[in-house]
């Protein structure tokens, strides 16, 4: 269930356009009301939670705004569809209650949300913010909001067009989505970011240890990866890490002699796991894939990636510079890319250097700076809130 977490060590509020009487004098720092999923102990941790938690940490360290966080995370328990729907409804109602309670002291709201949740609940969140004359910006998780909206029922598209699509800024994880929505909405590119620590172990000169690190979902390309694994070069081994999810039988891993299963990994242990490997393999065809955080993490640790040619991944990584692209759903393409990477040490070294260079572009301080800038502009009448990082 959501909780509002005021961070009192940061400074107090500033007035925003259209709300100066209710939101305090201008000589105060902006007050950001940030809504999104925080990490819950013993919960299935997804990239959305890691991204949101990282943003909070960066905003706290910079300490240039007052910050209140409303967490929308819920335990991802195995329930039937009706049970999940009831829990989702209760979670949303609690979010609205906390939003209404904290809105009078805030200057701007930034809502980190999935495409589905935005379509179902965005109109009500927009209405609450409008009643409080409070600027609202929305940051979509994933890269397929436009496709999900296009496939929604007409009533949902009607509500979206007249409510939350009129938000001050729609932050998009991919450039493609920002462009697609930009014709009718105010958009900005705000990619996923990560902050991996400096590497402690020396790099190996040859690629022999491959890593898959994600939720164990079939659409992450796991069936194709496990089918390809027996055809990898003899000295190459694959490690699979991640939480078990419905639709995938982890026993399929134990049948392969060159594949091991390490289970889920807490975020604090991800750097050590990556240091034990040479390259990331993510043959995903997940429908909502944007910029996978695990790829950014791998790049910052010096691991090139073998990943599919999905639109977001084509933006994030460049074939032959920081990784190798493969065709989605193709076992042969996977086998060929792994064989190439593991048989050419010069290629591996070049891709490793390229991965490090790319990873540095996606440090979390840039996203925090963009949110801070949004808060500053909300307190400065007449400034454009568009743009990107």
pLDDT digits (tens, 9 = 90+) for 51-64: 999 999 999 998 88
Is residue 312 scored above 80 in pLDDT?
yes
Question: Do 196 and 301 contact (CB within 8 A), yes or no?
Answer: yes
**Binning pLDDT at 50, 70 and 90, where does residue 380 land?**
low
The confidence score (pLDDT) of residue 8 equals 34
Residue 11 inside a domain? The answer is yes
Q: How many alpha carbons lie under 13 Å from residue 255 in its C-beta half-sphere? A: 7
**Binning pLDDT at 50, 70 and 90, where does residue 82 land?**
confident
Average the pLDDT over each of 2-11, 133-142, 344-353, 367-376 and give the range with the smallest value. Answer: 2-11
Looking at per-residue pLDDT, the higher value among 87 and 79 belongs to: 87
Compute the distance between CA of residue 112 and CA of residue 87 in angstroms, rounded to an integer.
19
Residue 201 inside a domain? The answer is no
**Binning pLDDT at 50, 70 and 90, where does residue 230 land?**
very high
Average pLDDT over residues 223-251: 94
Query: 180 with 264, same domain?
Result: no
Average pLDDT over residues 179-193: 95
**Binning pLDDT at 50, 70 and 90, where does residue 382 land?**
low
The confidence score (pLDDT) of residue 27 equals 61
**Binning pLDDT at 50, 70 and 90, where does residue 80 land?**
low
Average pLDDT over residues 167-175: 96
The confidence score (pLDDT) of residue 46 equals 85
How far from chain centre, in Å, is Cα 48?
Answer: 4
The confidence score (pLDDT) of residue 95 equals 95
Residue 204 inside a domain? The answer is no
Percent of the chain residues past pLDDT 90, beyond the cut: 77
Question: Do 147 and 181 contact (CB within 8 A), yes or no?
Answer: no
Question: Do 332 and 222 contact (CB within 8 A), yes or no?
Answer: no
Query: 169 with 124, same domain?
Result: yes
- pTM as predicted: 0.88
The confidence score (pLDDT) of residue 246 equals 84
Q: How many alpha carbons lie under 13 Å from residue 342 in its C-beta half-sphere? A: 23
Query: 115 with 53, same domain?
Result: yes
Compute the distance between CA of residue 290 and CA of residue 242 in angstroms, rounded to an integer.
19
Is residue 149 scored above 90 in pLDDT?
yes
123: domain CATH number? Answer: 3.40.50.2000
Query: 171 with 319, same domain?
Result: no
Query: 145 with 280, same domain?
Result: no
Range of the domain at 28: 4-193+363-388
Residue 203 inside a domain? The answer is no
Average pLDDT over residues 118-141: 96
Average pLDDT over residues 320-344: 97
Is residue 86 scored above 90 in pLDDT?
no
Average pLDDT over residues 108-130: 96
Is residue 2 scored above 60 in pLDDT?
no
Query: 376 with 233, same domain?
Result: no
Query: 155 with 290, same domain?
Result: no
Average pLDDT over residues 150-175: 97
Residue 372 inside a domain? The answer is yes
Query: 381 with 245, same domain?
Result: no
Is residue 197 scored above 90 in pLDDT?
yes
Average pLDDT over residues 290-300: 97
Query: 369 with 354, same domain?
Result: no
**Binning pLDDT at 50, 70 and 90, where does residue 389 land?**
low
Number of independent structural domains in the chain: 2
Is residue 321 scored above 70 in pLDDT?
yes
**Binning pLDDT at 50, 70 and 90, where does residue 381 land?**
low
The confidence score (pLDDT) of residue 26 equals 53
The confidence score (pLDDT) of residue 223 equals 95
Query: 229 with 169, same domain?
Result: no
Q: Mean pLDDT, the chain, as a whole number?
A: 89
Give which of 27, 22, 3, 21 is closest to 11, Cα–Cα.
27
**Straight-line distance from the first to the last Cα atom of the chain, in angstroms, rounded to the nearest whole number:** 32
Residue 199 inside a domain? The answer is no
Compute the distance between CA of residue 160 and CA of residue 168 in angstroms, rounded to an integer.
14
Query: 89 with 147, same domain?
Result: yes
Residue 126 inside a domain? The answer is yes
Query: 131 with 20, same domain?
Result: yes
Residue 354 inside a domain? The answer is yes
- For residue 136, count other CB atoms closer than 10 A to its CB: 26
Is residue 377 scored above 50 in pLDDT?
yes
Is residue 353 scored above 70 in pLDDT?
yes
Question: What secondary structure letter does DSSP report for 199?
Answer: P
The confidence score (pLDDT) of residue 270 equals 96
Is residue 25 scored above 60 in pLDDT?
no
Compute the distance between CA of residue 141 and CA of residue 146 in angstroms, rounded to an integer.
12
């Amino acid at each position: 269930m959501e909780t509002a977490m005021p961070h009192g060590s940061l400074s107090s509020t500033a007035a925003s356009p259209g709300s100066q009487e209710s939101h305090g004098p201008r000589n105060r720092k902006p007050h950001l009301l940030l809504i999104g999923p925080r990490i819950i102990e013993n919960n299935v941790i997804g990239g959305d939670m890691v991204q949101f938690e990282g943003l909070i940490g960066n905003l706290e360290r910079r300490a240039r705004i007052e910050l209140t966080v409303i967490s929308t995370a819920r335990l991802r328990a195995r329930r039937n569809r009706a049970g999940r729907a009831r829990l989702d409804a209760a979670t949303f109602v609690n979010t609205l209650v906390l939003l209404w309670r904290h809105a009078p002291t805030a200057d701007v709201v930034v809502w980190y949300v999935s495409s589905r949740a935005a379509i179902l609940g965005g109109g009500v969140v927009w209405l609450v913010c409008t009643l409080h004359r409070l600027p609202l910006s929305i940051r979509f998780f994933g890269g397929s909001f436009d496709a999900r909206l296009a496939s929604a029922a007409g009533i949902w598209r009607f509500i979206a067009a007249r409510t939350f699509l009129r938000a001050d800024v729609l932050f998009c994880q991919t450039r493609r989505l920002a462009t697609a929505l930009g014709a009718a909405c105010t958009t900005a590119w705000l990619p996923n970011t990560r902050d991996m620590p400096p590497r402690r172990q020396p790099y190996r000169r040859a690629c022999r240890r491959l890593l898959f690190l994600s939720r164990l979902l079939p659409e992450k390309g796991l069936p194709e990866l496990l089918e390809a694994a027996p055809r990898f070069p003899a000295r190459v081994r694959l490690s699979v890490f991640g939480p078990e999810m419905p639709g995938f039988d982890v026993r399929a891993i134990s049948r392969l002699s060159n594949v091991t299963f390490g289970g889920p990994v807490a975020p604090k242990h991800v750097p050590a796991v990556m240091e034990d490997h040479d390259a990331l393999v993510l043959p995903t065809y997940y429908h909502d894939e944007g910029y996978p955080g695990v790829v950014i993490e791998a790049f910052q640790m010096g691991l090139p990636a073998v990943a599919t040619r999905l639109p977001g991944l084509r933006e994030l990584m460049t074939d032959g510079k920081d990784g190798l692209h493969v065709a989605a759903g193709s076992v042969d393409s996977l086998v060929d890319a792994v064989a190439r990477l593991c048989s050419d040490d010069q290629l591996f070294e070049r891709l490793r250097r390229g991965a490090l260079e790319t990873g540095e572009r996606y440090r979390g301080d840039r996203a925090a700076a963009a949110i801070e800038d949004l808060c500053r502009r909300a307190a400065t009448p007449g400034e454009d809130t568009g743009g990107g990082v």
